[in-house]
Chains A and B, each alone.
Chain A
Amino acid sequence: MNDLLAIAIQVGVPLVLIVAALFIGTMLERKHYRSIDEREQTYGRIALLNGRHYPRNPAVAKSCFVSGSVVISYDYFKRFLAGLRMFFGGEVRSYVSLLDRGRREAILRMKEKCSDADLIVNLRIETSSISKGRKKNSPGTVEVFAYGTALWYSASGDG
């Protein structure tokens, strides 16, 4: 009886965690994507360039360094999926969506700091893993940092 209980706990607890993470994680991801889509519409006006050159006519009135960052982590369910994927190889789709969220969020946070700018040039996106998972080979937390130079073409902008 005690053995059965021990097995039930050992199998049951991770299972409950996986199912809970699946529902809550998916819900949070949808909510986040909705908010990203909304804000991308709002700030779509600001063009992004990842080169150093920019249109010089009309003359630039003002420039400012801007940056945005976010730290994100994987949920328990995705970690489980990826664990399976590591066995068979191939694209780990569950992680792709998470990094996509992180990058878009970092860019949006950067744009929010200069909401009236006309252009952001020399955009750089840096992704770094800031902590490893508890188990070997398990991914940890990832930071995405986006930075660039915001330009204003008219003198009226003072953000």
Chain B
Amino acid sequence: MLMTNIEEIPGKKIVEHYGLVTGSTVRAKHVGRDIMAGLKNLVGGELKGYTELLEDARRQARDRMVAQATELGANAIVNVRFNTSSIAQGASELYVYGTAVRVE
């Protein structure tokens, strides 16, 4: 599956549009990571556990979008956008959307 966040796939011609495809997931952090992060909070800097958690969640959201596009018969997604929103204390929603297309 080709993906870009511009309106086209450079060097390829779009032959068909399938409309919007989306993927989302809501993730909560778990206690073990929270305790480690609490300690790391003292000296600041990167919280690797959280970085991994969000990367993982974002990949899942992306996979769901790709699955939807595949089902429609698309072979590329253009204009991909990401959105993160904190919906509750300690839980985030990761939302990704784009336009499914078929390119030659």
Contacts and interface: CB of A to CB of B under 8 A. Distances in A.
A143 B45 contact: no
Contacts of A141: 37, 41, 47, 50
Contact of A65 (B3, B46, B90): B3
Contact of B51 (A52, A71, A122): A71
Contacts of A132: 89
B11 A59 contact: yes
B16 to A, nearest CB: 19
B71 interface: no
A130 B92 contact: yes
B45 A32 contact: yes
Interface in A33-91: 52, 54, 59-65, 67, 69-76, 78
B82 A72 contact: no
Contact of B40 (A20, A73, A129): A73
A145 B10 contact: no
In this complex, the interface size class of chain A, counting residues with CB under 8 Å from chain B, is 35 or more
Nearest to A31: B45
B2 A75 contact: no
Contact of A73 (B6, B41, B55, B83): B41
B42 A71 contact: no
Contacts of A130: 50, 54, 84, 86, 92
Contact of A72 (B2, B46, B83): B46
Contacts of A128: 84-86, 92
Interface residues of B, number: 35
Contacts of A71: 46-48, 50-51, 54
Given A65-B5, A132-B89, A73 B11 contact: no
Contact of A28 (B37, B45, B58, B89): B45
Determine which residue in A63, A64, A105, A121 has the highest number of CB atoms from chain B within 10 A of its CB, and name it.
Answer: A63
Contact of B11 (A21, A61, A145): A61
7 contacts: A20-B42, A28-B44, A32-B45, A64-B4, A71-B48, A74-B41, A132-B89
A-B complex: 10 closest residue pairs judged by Cβ atoms = A75-B44, A60-B10, A71-B50, A65-B3, A128-B84, A149-B4, A24-B43, A63-B10, A71-B51, A60-B11
Given A21-B42, A126-B82, A149-B6, 9 more contacts: A20-B42, A20-B43, A25-B45, A32-B45, A52-B6, A60-B10, A65-B5, A71-B47, A141-B47
